[in-house]
Structure 1
Amino acid sequence: MGRSQDPAWTKGTVALTAARERGDIDRKFQNDLTVTRSMIDRLGLEKELHGHMGCVNCLEWNYDGSILASASDDLHVILWDPYRYKELHKIATGHTGNIFSVKFVSNDTLATCAADGTVRVRTTAGASLLECSCHCGRVKRLAVPPDNPNLIWSAGEDGVVIQHDLRTSHRCNSVNTNVLVNLIKHLGRYAEAKCVAVNPRRPYQLAVGANDCYARLYDTRMIKLSRGHQTRVPTSQMLFERQNVLCSRAGHGDPDNDVPKAAVQYFAPGQYYS
């Protein structure tokens, strides 16, 4: 007898459904109906796609779901036809460290970031559109607003979120004004930006995760871009600069009010801060 034909199982499901209708929803209800045995029995591995020579750290669908991109410790991005289980392109990114994030900027343009501290944008044909080394730490995540594929936001373990605009030429130097959020000024000198995500319905809203308990939600329309690190330097000097020179105001906020108080909301488990 299948479980759906088991009278006891059916009675229990009816009781849980009635509880939901009454608004009596608790953790037991969620646990009991989130995954059912019949659902598990229907799951199965459809196909394994082989092509990378290292850990696959990130996956991304293109906008219409026709192509799957995978990025790996082998420093390559592979584009797959997920319906024919076929490799379409294998792209050498130029990174020298593990790739942590891959994003479609358009159907034929990809952005990647990696442990080498760089953000790179290139076409599937191999043409380079951007090579940015403004971060001075591992770059963990990228975000692309759906209404403006010319913008890319990158979150790095150097504590900053950088805005990249593909419509303008870029050269990494001390005069760049491309930092959207500098967490060091608010969280302290050991701040690390771990992840970023754009609200697809309100693309001006950018969520940022860091090495603390808060999820920060920024209104990018209210933020003034600021300068970041002076130059990229060797690792030991970079650490000294970050902790002692570049962070003289660590934890004291933006001196020029680059991120107004009204531009950010803080969320933590069971709490909300405006």
Structure 2
Amino acid sequence: QELVMRLQIHRKLNKHTGCVNTVGFNAAGDTLISGSDDQRVMLWDWDTGAVKMQFHSGHGDNVFQARFMPYTNDRTIVTCSADGEVRVAKIQDGRDVLTSLLGEHDGRAHKLAIEPGSPYIFYSCGEDGHVQHV
């Protein structure tokens, strides 16, 4: 109980304009990724709390999960959404972001699981009762 009583808010990151549904760190632990009902993905500098970059996910509905793919220098991000789509975002050298559709569920797509150690393999699951290997 003493430990819980010492917990406090470290920082509030205010930039999304909708409900935030997902947060996660990169492998180094210095960048936080978030996705929201505003259909945007944001990369946050954890030390300063500043937005390093933000982009539209390409989804037409709430982003439920956003994850960095391993061994891609944090330049490849996968997302899934209430629109049922599973998408990949690739951050280009000029900081442009190209998104493309990789798969689709019949109904909302809720979660992603990254295969440990693979920059290419992950799984998605959705309301259609399927787990897709993407």
Using the size of structure 2 for normalisation, the TM-score is 0.89
Q: Give the root-mean-square deviation of aligned CA atoms.
A: 1.3
Q: Within 5 Å, give how 1:122-271 maps onto structure 2.
A: 122-124=89-91, 125-128=96-99, 130-164=100-134
CA distance in 2, matches of 1:135, 1:44: 39
Gaps of at least 5 residues in structure 1 are 1-35, 165-274
Residue deviations 1:156-212, cap 9 Å, x none? Answer: 111111111xxxxxxxxxxxxxxxxxxxxxxxxxxxxxxxxxxxxxxxxxxxxxxxx
Query: Which aligned pairs between 1:63-142 and structure 2 lie closer than 5 A?
Result: 63-105=27-69, 106=72, 107-124=74-91, 125-128=96-99, 130-142=100-112
- What is the CA distance between 1:123 and its match in structure 2? 1.7
Of Structure 1 and Structure 2, the greater helix share is in 1
**SS of the residue aligned with 2:59?**
coil
Give 1:41 deviation, angstroms. 3.2
CA–CA distance in 2 between the matches of 1:117 and 1:133?
8
SS of residue in 1 equivalent to 2:97: coil
Equivalent residue number for residue 7 of structure 2 = 43
- Please tell me the residue identity of whatever aligns with 2:75: D
Q: Which runs of 4+ in 1 moved over 2 A?
A: none
Please point out which of 14, 17, 22 is paired with 1:53: 17
Note the C-alpha offset of 1:44: 1.2
Query: Structure 2 CA distance, aligned partners of 1:155 and 1:123?
Result: 22
Change (3 A) 1:39 1:134: closer
Match of 1:203 in 2: none
Deviation at 1:133, TM superposition (A): 4.2
Q: Secondary structure at the match of 2:104?
A: coil
1:147 is displaced (CA, Å) by 1.5
Count of residues in correspondence between the two structures: 127
Q: Secondary structure at the match of 1:127?
A: strand
Percent of residue pairs identical:
36
